[in-house]
Chains A and B, each alone.
Chain A
Amino acid sequence: MLASIHEARLPGAPVLTVDGVTLRYDSARGPVVAVDNVSLSVTRGERLALVGPSGCGKSSLLRAVGGFLKPSAGRIALEGGVAITAPSPDRMMVFQEFDQLLPWRTVAGNVRFALRVARGLPRRAADEKARDWIARVGLAAFADAFPHTLSGGMKQRVAIARAFAIQPTILLMDEPFAALDAMTRRQMQDELLALCEATRATVIFVTHDIDEAIRISTRVLAMTPHPGRIAGEFATGDAAPSALEQEIRHVVQHGRVRENANEAAYG
């Protein structure tokens, strides 16, 4: 046990391991395999993107990591080998839907509530930290506004501030910008990237937008549907974004790496 803790603290050791996970659920037309025997790991400070078309199981996989879904087979473990059994603020999720904020609390109230519940901070400390994070996402002027008075982009900013303020071990983002207009989405991507780099956050980012995956992540896993599987893995650092996007698009569409693929495009 002691040995495994030491191992886990080594740089590059995984903070999260997904090992042979299968997610099955019952639909009206019988059992459906959303995710089939997927394994992956995430190291500290890494931003992993899961990209694929709808139905590829990327969101289900993220929900299983969040502890909202129980794997039908396989194991999801945190560093030190502790299996995930329930949701926890150490794996804060940012959802696509705008109604993830509590409508009866103000912007500051939402972040403050999360800090008090999840981290047990006293009121004043929670308030200070909440306002600090709201300012960091550019919403200082709206700290006392109720969520229904905000635009979609602003609501997602609050959700992101709430997630960062908790300082989770790993941030889970389930297509947080998918419901935003293109211009806002682009701006939010840049802001999120800046926040991640400033805090060295570990992130799993789910999206169906390949361009977004490349912009935000340090590593991309491309998934294919029916059943959800990982079809390819790409490091985003060295390759030219446009070439990489073509490679990923090919994998997502055909389920395999292009035969004459440029070796530099994936790691």
Chain B
Amino acid sequence: MADASIAASPSAVPWRSESAAGLFRRVVILAVLAAIWEGYATWLANPLLLPSLSATLRAAFEGFASGELGDRTLTTLSVLARGYVLGVAGACVLTVLAVSNRWGLELLNTLTAMFNPLPAVALLPIALLWFGLGTPSLIFVIVHSVLWPVSLSGLSGFRSVPPTLRMAGRNLGLTGLGFVIQILVPAAFPAILAGLKIGWAFAWRTLIAAELVFGVSSRSGGLGWYIYVNRNQLETANVFAGLLVVIVIGLIVEGLLFRTIASRTVERWGQQH
């Protein structure tokens, strides 16, 4: 069949080389940016304002070697993981309620209309009042920043499952939980994944910002606190090292974790948005 070979070809070969070319361009852009940074900082010769890339890398290396930067990073990631998991779990509950019941739908619509536009950092004063200084307050604002976007995209994912696909599933005799898990969740997965990605980005930003605000009196602070303390001590290279870690973790999660999940799922299925 002539149409068959034409239709089937785009999935196989060109995709890989396209992504390899994209990676190459990205590496070149990063190298150019690094060279500009190094060159400008050397010319400026004011490490208090702008340490060079090499000084920043040295500070990062020393920070990790002494164990401090590693500890700070782990603290931040552990708080983030707890808040993220809680937020996603809450989003699952809200989405299930909204999909299965009209009251649940109205509840989710009302809550997201109220809270989604509210910046998580704006809730910090209340969090401090309720939970005091420390991890619970941080988790509270992370849950807030994850819950609404993830619920919203989950809901839109479930609602956009094509009616034909639903009927095809029910035709096989699937009902109840089996129908949800075998048909609805995978069909809504592209939107769910997009929501998880947005939720992650919100949570990461919120956490670093919240740690900066809290930093002053928290005993075991995270990366935000590391940045704050080093700025007070005018250790600008350490501040940049902390920022670099924030950026690198963001790149790893976004570019590696979510990219890998997407390329193994929604891209193979031809479902990416």
The residues of A with any CB-CB pair to B shorter than 8 Å are 66, 68, 86-89, 91-93, 95, 97, 99-104, 113-114, 117-118, 138, 141-142, 145-151, 153-154, 184
Contacts and interface: CB of A to CB of B under 8 A. Distances in A.
B165 A148 contact: no
Given A97-B162, A151-B4, A154-B7, A104 B172 contact: no
A149 B165 contact: no
Given A68-B167, A99-B162, A149-B7, A89 B172 contact: yes
B172 A142 contact: no
A184 B164 CA distance: 22
A148 B162 contact: no
A89 B183 CA distance: 16
A104 B11 contact: no
Most buried by A among B172, B183, B186: B172
B4 A142 contact: yes
B8 interface: yes
A142 B8 contact: yes
Interface stretch (B35-43, B57-65, B222-230, B262-270): B262-270
B189 interface: yes
Q: How large is the interface on B (under 10, 10 to 19, 20 to 34, 35 or more residues)?
A: 20 to 34
A117 B11 contact: no
Given A104-B189, A104-B265, A149-B270, A99 B171 contact: no
Contacts of B165: 99-100, 102
A95 B166 CA distance: 12
Contact of A104 (B171, B174, B186): B186
Nearest to B7: A151
Contacts of A104: 186-187, 189, 265, 269, 271
A128 to B, nearest CB: 19
Interface in B163-206: 164-165, 167-168, 170-175, 178, 182-183, 186-187, 189
A146 B269 contact: yes
A142 B271 CA distance: 19
Contacts of B117: none
Given A102-B183, A117-B182, A97 B173 contact: no
B174 to A, nearest CB: 6
Nearest to B271: A103
